[in-house]
Amino acid sequence: MVLYFSQNFVHVIIVGALIATAIAATALIVMFIRDAKNNEIW
Amino acid sequence: MFIQETILNSQLGWILLACLGVFWVALGMYWGRKAKNMEGFMLAGRNVGLALGTATAMATWITSNTTMLAPQFAFELGIWGMLAYSTASFGLFLFAPLARRIRQLMPSGFTSGDFVRLRYGKPTWIIFLLISIFYSLTWLISMGMAGGILMNALAGIPYQYGMSAILLVCVLYTLFGGLYAVIGTDYIQSLIILIGIVVVGYGVVSHVGVDEVYGHVSTEQPMLVNVLLPAAVMAFFNNMLFGIGEIFHSNVWWSRAFAMRQSVGQKAYFLSGFFWFPIPIAAGFIALAAGAIGINVTSPDMVGPLIAANILGKAGAVIVFIVFFCSLASSIDSLLAATSDLITEDVYRKMINPQADEQRTRKVAAGVVVGLGIFAWLVCLPRIGTLATVLFFAGPMVGSCIWPILTGLFWKRANATGAIFGMLSGSIIGLICYFTIGWYVASLIGAAVSMSVVVIVSLLSKDQFDWKQLDESQTVKASG
């Protein structure tokens, strides 16, 4: 018997990955602003 | 059916290349002014904060191999291919406690070679340096090649010219700014890459739709959605161990652990793993759309840029061009800096000229950066094999370094005999499997053999290593 990934699973991981990537970009900006405020960039 | 043609004309490609080149070199010179001494040039003053620390770990790991190979993995191995590539993030997660331990045990350390020399002695150090420098060069070459392939695929810039241009830009800004320039540009590059991947991914999802892609793949190439595709399942574990081995041993990651503030390293590596994990899926899934769109792919490592550019048109092609340039530059600069540190610190300062003053060492470091660039350029000139072939050849060697590093940092009984035989046996048996079975098992077997040897030899030994020996500032004072 051959087992396949379901359409829902594929949908969730692809859309989830795009959302997670957008969150990562936002988090990096927020972290930079916080470091700048605390004079902790370098 | 589309045929493979460039989306940007070569004139626009050259303009983009020139603008990006000038921008990064100017930033490198600006940040390079902070590098007043050798510690500044090599380790950015050992005071890097969380935002830059996280971004540089992540950006360095987002290589051309992520943005070009992840689509290739998806194209050839389907869903498992994307997931397999994402497991490379486990190396970042697992390196987090190591980064803390490294900073704690070696407050004045410079390179991963320093650790192996102090922990295991000279013979192990030399074998480790051979593996580490070989891998760094392989990685550098694979990205120089990727640069040429990308410029050619997107803008029709001849392979040799595109490859030469990207290597030149990276050599220049690394030369002027050292690790300050590398980490600073990594932050900006990581933001561009993340935003670009989201824009391209969103474009593909809204243009074709995940359900349409799934429908086409499950009808025409059902093996790509097969849960039990054997080669892909092996690739899953192989890639995870390859990633762990690469990060654990490579000076690219050690130099960042030394460069970050002591309280920052662990957190930064952990966050970078989280941020990196979705990227191969977000960048890779677009390759699955090839069939649904009707693109005829003749070279699998071009599938990502071709589909993105086909779907998003000229503006999209510009975004893709910039994203790929950033993903290449963020890794090439790191490799140039870290490999130069390894050669300057471990080979020149420790083996050839221990009396060298700071000015002389800085000149040698600069010469090594230029030399590495020229070497990579010469090897890249003839386009050899696919990216995967070049990169995964080194897999078993880095896989066999995992356990000597890990046990060396945390287990007093780990010793030189286990480390040497672990690295050698893992590399040799792994390479035999690479040629007789395939690349997708080489790292896995190399790591498994090395683990068995290191653990058994350590258990049989009565050694009790004194951790204080790793703090060279203290041992030098004591012996002085």
pLDDT tens column, B147-160: 888 888 788 899 99
CA distance B139 to B144: 9
pLDDT value of position B2: 42
- Distances from the Cα of B114 to the Cα of B118, B131, B163, B344, B472, angstroms: 6, 15, 33, 12, 9
Question: Mean pLDDT for each 10-residue chunk of chain A (42 residues)?
Answer: 83 93 96 94 87
Average pLDDT for residues B365-375, to the nearest whole number?
95
Confidence category of residue B283, pLDDT binned at 50, 70, 90: confident
- As to burial, measured by CB atoms within 10 angstroms (0-12 exposed, 13-18 middle, 19+ buried), residue A30 is exposed
- Cβ–Cβ under 8 Å, residues B214 and A9: no
The pLDDT, as a whole number, for residue B474 is: 73
* Residue B248: partners with Cβ closer than 8 Å, 6 or more residues away: B91, B94, B95, B98, B401, B402, B405, B406
B61-90: pLDDT as tens digits: 877 667 777 888 888 888 888 888 888 888
B138, B418 in Cβ contact below 8 A? no
pLDDT at position B5 is 64
Contact B259, B48 (CB under 8 A): yes
Of all residues in chain A, the one with the smallest CA distance to B43 is A42
**Does position B477 have pLDDT exceeding 80, yes or no?**
no
Q: Which residues of A touch B210 (CB under 8 A)?
A: 10-11, 14-15
User: Rounded to whole angstroms, what are the CA distances from B126 to B121, B343, B375?
Assistant: 9, 12, 21
Q: What percent of chain B stands above pLDDT 70?
A: 94
Residue with more model confidence, B315 or A30: A30
Hey, what amino acid is at B293?
A: I
Q: Which residue of A has its CA nearest to B206?
A: A15
Residue B261 with chain A: CB contacts under 8 Å:
40
Between B283 and A15, the higher pLDDT residue = A15
Which tokens belong to B460?
């049989």
pLDDT at B319: 86
pLDDT of residue B122: 94
How large is the average pLDDT for residues B206-221?
Answer: 86
Which chain B residues are closer than 8 Å to A18 by Cβ? 198, 201-202, 205, 278, 282
pLDDT digits (tens, 9 = 90+) for B324-338: 888 888 889 888 999
Please state which of the ranges B35-44, B182-191, B250-259 shows the lowest mean pLDDT: B35-44
- Contacts of residue B226 in chain A, CB cutoff 8 Å? 2-5
Residue B345 CA to residue B133 CA, distance in Å, equals 13
Q: What residues of chain B lie within 8 A of the CB of A3, using their CB?
A: 226-228
Do B179 and B42 meet the contact criterion of CB atoms below 8 Å apart? yes
Give the pLDDT confidence score for residue B1 in this predicted structure: 39
In total, chain A counts a number of residues equal to: 42
Contact B406, B454 (CB under 8 A): no
Task: Give residue B246's pLDDT.
Answer: 81
Taking an 8 Å cut-off on Cβ atoms, the answer to whether A40 and B49 are in contact is: yes
Selected residue of A1, A8, A10, A26 to mutate for chain B interface (largest B Cβ count, 10 A):
A10
Residue B54 tokens, joined:
């996280």
Give the pLDDT confidence score for residue B64 in this predicted structure: 65
The DSSP output letter for B49 is -
Exposed, middle or buried, A23 (CB in 10 Å: 0-12/13-18/19+)?
middle
Q: A-side interface with B, Cβ within 8 Å?
A: 2-5, 7, 10-11, 13-18, 20-22, 24-25, 27-29, 31-32, 34-35, 40-42
**Which residues are CB-contacts of B405 (< 8 A; sequence separation ≥ 6)?**
B98, B112, B115, B116, B248, B249
pLDDT at site B311: 82
Which of the pair, B410 or B294, is modelled with greater confidence?
A: B410
How many of the other CB atoms lie within 10 Å of CB of B46?
Answer: 17
**Cβ-based neighbours of B425, under 8 Å, separated by 6 or more:** B400, B449, B450, B453
**CA–CA distance, A35 with B271 (Å, rounded to integer):** 15
Query: Are A28 and B51 a contacting pair at CB < 8 A?
Result: yes
Write the residue in B51, B261, B285 that is nearest to A32 by C-beta. Answer: B51
- Give the model's pLDDT for residue B116: 96
| Average pLDDT of the segment spanning B41-45 | 89
Using an 8 Å Cβ cutoff, are B290 and B75 in contact? Answer: yes
Helices B50-61 and B265-276: angle between axes, nearest 10 degrees:
40
Q: Is the pLDDT of residue B476 over 70?
A: no
Residue B265 contacts residue B50 (beta carbons within 8 Å) = no
| B51 contacts A34? CB cut-off 8 A | yes
Q: Which residues of A touch B207 (CB under 8 A)?
A: none
Hey, how many other C-beta atoms are within 10 angstroms of the C-beta on B412?
14
Question: Looking at A15-19, B293-297, B342-346, B400-404, which range is the least confident one?
Answer: B293-297
Tokens representing B465 are 């290593």
Contacts of B62 (CB under 8 A, 6+ apart): B190, B193, B276, B279, B327, B330, B331
Model confidence at B303, in pLDDT bands (50, 70, 90)? Answer: confident
Q: Which residues contact B188 (CB under 8 A, 6 or more apart)?
A: B27
Q: Considering only the C-alpha atoms of chain A, give the largest distance between any 2 of them, rounded to a whole number of Å.
A: 60
**pLDDT of amino acid B351:** 92
CB contact under 8 A, A41 and B218: no
Q: How confident is the model at residue B3 (pLDDT cuts 50, 70, 90)?
A: very low
What average pLDDT does range B231-255 have in this prediction?
80
- Identify whether the C-beta of residue B280 lies closer than 8 Å to the C-beta of residue B68: no
Mean of the per-residue pLDDT values for chain B?
A: 87
* CA B476 to centroid of chain Cα atoms: 33
SS3 B295: strand
Q: Is the pLDDT of residue B36 over 90?
A: no
- Contact list in B for residue A22 (CB cut-off 8 A) is 194, 198
Q: Cβ of A25 and B198 within 8 Å? A: yes
Token pair of B439 as six digits: 């690349």
Overall average pLDDT of the B120-134 stretch: 93
Instruction: Please give the interface size between A and B, counted as residue pairs whose CB atoms are below 8 Å apart.
Output: 109
Q: Do residue A24 and residue B194 have CB atoms under 8 angstroms apart?
A: yes
Question: Using the beta-carbon criterion (under 8 Å), do B228 and A18 form an inter-chain contact?
Answer: no
d(CA B29, CA B456): 50
- Cα B240 → chain centroid: 13
- Chain B positions in Cβ-Cβ contact with residue A34 (cut-off 8 Å): 50-51
Q: Which amino acid, B16?
A: L
CA distance B51 to B59: 12
